[in-house]
Structure 1
Amino acid sequence: MAKIYTKTGDKGETSIIGGEKVKKCSNRVEAYGTIDELNSFIGIIVSHMKSSIDVKKDLGEIQQILFDCGTDMATPNSTKGYRTSAESIEWLESCIDKYLASPPPITEFIIPGGDPVASELHFARTIARRAERIVVAASLEGEINPEVLKFLNRLSDYFFAAARLVNYRENRMDVSYRRNSQVFYND
């Protein structure tokens, strides 16, 4: 039987793709670890979804792309090319546009919440933002695939749009932030 533990990380280091050893607290490792956390949380969301099958299917595709993002973050100075591509970002943008077509337009900030799945989608948005910040930090220390950063930036917008769509479909009203002034303008 193969063992899943290697004991190579017992001293706080890990090997990234290409064999280089880095500290487990490096921004590169933090980035792909946070991407993995987000991917795992999406799995929780999907397991709770009883409706919005189109969103559920899209979340499955996002999980695949997040694995690509994690691989790219674990691969410094790729000579074979990266996995995350502009096509992934374009696909995500099309999902966002499709999702925002149904709920009424908003002009002010909203409080995360509503349907339990929508609430989880809002929480996923915050994890995506954290992953994005760590990827930026990693980019200051070494080469990264810039498409990962773009994908994570769009992904937080995706989760916002998906949460609004789920609330709309479940007849749950968005709750406006009470000290709002108009911040979004609809054309």
Structure 2
Amino acid sequence: MKLYTKTGDKGTTSLIGGTRVAKSHLRIEAYGTVDELNAYIGLVRDQEVNKSRSPILKEIQDRLFTIGSLLATDPGKSKMKTPDLHEADIHLLETEIDSMTAAVPPLRAFVLPGGHPSVSFGHVARCVCRRAERLAIGLQEESEVEDLVIIYLNRLSDYLFALCRIMTQELGAEEVTWKPRI
């Protein structure tokens, strides 16, 4: 099987279910951003500081593939079985968030992204996650998107913020808080 099909050369692509849409369609933008997020999660997973968290980060990447397939499916048109999300996937993130939050000092101000390259990669992933969430919400306003997709992306951005805080601590980096000019 060839890697290229030439079917998208005119700016369209197929959804799961066969419908062809413009590559600029909101559905394509949504799952493309989830794919981008998945790549950043891989970068975060590859950081030495996250060696012990590699299994959970891989699990998150697996769930992002699930979300991508859900977003790539034309609602009501596909008879193909797609993977699904479960409430347990969200609970796993919440458990991890609670564990990481308990291990760092309470947050008393906004945190400026940065302090160490590994932390910065995490903050980029968090921002891409928020964009994916916004796009999925926009898509949900015009088409079917499972509620669990939105909830998972929302919780994942919280997970990534908590991850950045614990990485900062473990790396001995400075957590710089925002001090607004008044």
Shared fold by TM > 0.5?
Answer: yes
Contact 1:122 / 1:163 at 8 angstroms: preserved in 2? yes
1:53 CA drift (Å):
2.4
When the two structures are aligned, how many residues end up with a matched partner? 179
Tell me which residue corresponds to 2:126.
125
Partner of 1:137: 138
State the partner residue of 2:55.
Answer: 57
Q: Which moved more, 1:70-79 or 1:133-142?
A: 70-79
* Counterpart Cα distance in 2 of 1:180 and 1:146: 39
Contact 2:35 2:64 in 1 (8 A): yes
Instruction: Work out the CA distance in 1 between the residues paired with 2:53 and 2:117.
Output: 15
Question: Is contact 2:30–2:71 with CA below 8 Å preserved after alignment?
Answer: yes
Q: TM-score, length-normalised on structure 1?
A: 0.89
In structure 1, the residue matched to 2:33 is 34
AA at the equivalent of 1:10 = D
Structure 1 residues 68-113: Cα deviation after superposition (integer angstroms, max 9, x where no partner): 0000101132665751222111111111111111110111101011
CA RMSD of aligned residues (A): 1.8
Q: Is the 8 A contact 2:45 2:57 kept in 1?
A: yes
Query: What does 1:168-179 align with in structure 2 at a 5 Å threshold?
Result: 168-179=169-180
Gaps of 5+ in 2: none
User: 1:151: how far off?
Assistant: 0.6
Moved over 3 A (4+): 78-82
- Kept in 2, the 8 Å contact 1:129–1:156? The answer is yes
Residues 29-83 of structure 1: per-residue CA shift (max 9 Å, x gap): 1000000011011222222x11332322211111000000000101132665751
- Asked if the contact 1:77/1:143 (under 8 Å) is kept, the reply is yes
Task: Confirm or deny: 8 A CA contact 1:27 1:138 kept in the other structure.
Answer: yes
Distance (whole Å) between structure 2 residues aligned to residue 45 and residue 86 of structure 1: 24
Q: Is the 8 A contact 1:42 1:124 kept in 2?
A: yes
Q: Report the equivalent of 1:96.
A: 97
Tell me the residue number matched to 2:88. 87
Distance 2:113 2:8 in 1: 38
| Identical-residue share of aligned pairs (%) | 41
Q: Which amino acid aligns with 2:144?
A: E
Normalising by structure 2, report the TM-score. 0.92
Give, in whole Å, the separation in 2 of the partners of 1:180 and 1:39.
36
**In structure 2, what is the Cα distance between the partners aligned to 1:179 and 1:94?**
32
Alignment check: 8 A CA contact 2:71 2:145 kept? yes
Residues 69, 82 of structure 2: 8 Å contact kept: no
